Amino acid sequence: MSGSKTFDLSTVSLRELNRFLHKDLFGTAHVRVEHPDGAHSIAVGMDAPVHVDVIGHAGYYAGGMNKHATLIVHGNAGPGVAENMMSGLVRVKGFASVSAGASMRGGLLVVEGDCGLRCGISLKGGDIVVGGSVGSFSMFMAQAGRLVVCGDAGDALGDSLYEAVIYVRGSVKSLGADARFEDMTDADFAAVADLLERAGLTHDPREFKRIASARSLYHWNVDAQQEY
C-alpha cells in the first residue's frame, strides 16, 4: 500500500475517521490523526496492514480488536488500550490506564511508560511489554501469552494464572493466588531478549524474574473447603 491521509479530529468526526479506516483505505499506507484530545475508540476493529499515528492522547479502547495494523499513540491511552487485539502492533509512547491489553489474543502491545491496574487481564495470547511499572491484579486469570514488566508490579500479580508467563525486572509487591516465582531458563532469557528488542528497550534479560502458575487451581479440590 502507498499514500497517506490526515484526519484532524478538531474539524472532522471520529465516526468519519473510523469509517475511512474500515471501508475506504484503498491502498492508503499511513493515516495521521491530529488533535485526538482523548477521544474514545480511535482505530478500533482495524483489519488492514495500515500504519496509524495518533498525535496526542487517546481515550478508552484505542486500537481495540486490532488486526494487522500498527497503531502508535504519541501520548497517553485510557482504559482498555488494545483490548482483544488479534495481531499487529499497538504502541503507547506515554502511560496507559487500567486493563491495557485485556483479553488480547495476539500481536504486541508496547507501553513505554507505566500501566494502571489489571494490565493483561484475561490475556489469551500475544505479548505485552511495559517499559515502566504495572498496577495491582495485572495478568489476573491470564490464560496464554507473555507480559514483560521493566519496572515494578503491584499487589496480586498473576492471580489465578493459567499458562501465561510474566517477567518482571523490578520488585513485586505480592503474588496472587497460584502464582509463583520460577527459575529462568535459557529459553526465558531468549524470549525476554526478543521481546525487549521488538519493543526497542535495552535492559539485560538476566535482570528479570519469571512468574508462572503453580497449577494448583486447575481442578476443584473438595478438601479445600473453598479456601485457596
Q: For residue 181, how many C-alpha atoms fall within 13 Å in the half-sphere facing its CB? A: 9
Percentage of the chain surpassing pLDDT 90? 93
Q: Residue 82 is part of a domain; what is its CATH number? A: 2.160.20.60
Burial string for 84-102 (b: 16+ CB within 10 Å, else e) reads bbbbbbbbbbbbbbbbbbb
pLDDT digits (tens, 9 = 90+) for 178-191: 999 999 999 999 99
Q: Which residue has the higher pLDDT, 222 or 106?
A: 106
pLDDT of 223 higher than 90: no
Q: What is the mean pLDDT of residues 137-146?
A: 97
CA distance 78 to 217: 32
pLDDT of 110 higher than 80: yes
pLDDT digits (tens, 9 = 90+) for 148-186: 999 999 999 999 999 999 999 999 999 999 999 999 999
For 177, the grid coordinates are 493466588
Residue 171 per-residue DSSP state: -
User: Starting at the edge strand that comes first in sequence, how are the strands of the sheet with 4-8 ordered?
Assistant: 4-8, 30-34, 51-55, 70-73, 89-92, 105-111, 124-130, 144-149, 165-168, 209-213, 179-182
Q: Residue type for 111, please?
A: V
Phi-psi region of 27 (alpha: psi -120 to 50; beta: other; left: phi over 0): left
Identify the three-state secondary structure at position 159.
coil
pLDDT band at 216 (very low <50, low <70, confident <90, very high): confident
pLDDT at position 225: 63
Q: What is the mean pLDDT of residues 205-210?
A: 98
Identify the three-state secondary structure at position 207.
helix
* Phi, psi (degrees; rounded to nearest 5) at 215: 65, 25
pLDDT at position 1: 61
Residue with cell 480511535: 42
pLDDT of 227 higher than 80: no
pLDDT band at 137 (very low <50, low <70, confident <90, very high): very high
pLDDT digits (tens, 9 = 90+) for 31-62: 999 999 999 999 999 999 999 999 999 999 99
Assess contact for 217 and 160: CB atoms under 8 A: yes
Split into its structural domains, the chain has a count of 1
pLDDT digits (tens, 9 = 90+) for 4-17: 999 999 999 999 99
What DSSP line would sit under 114-130, residue for residue? -B-TTTTTT-EEEEEEE
pLDDT at position 134: 98
Q: Provide the residue range defining the domain that includes 133.
A: 4-224
> Exposed, middle or buried by CB within 10 Å (0-12, 13-18, 19+), for 35?
middle
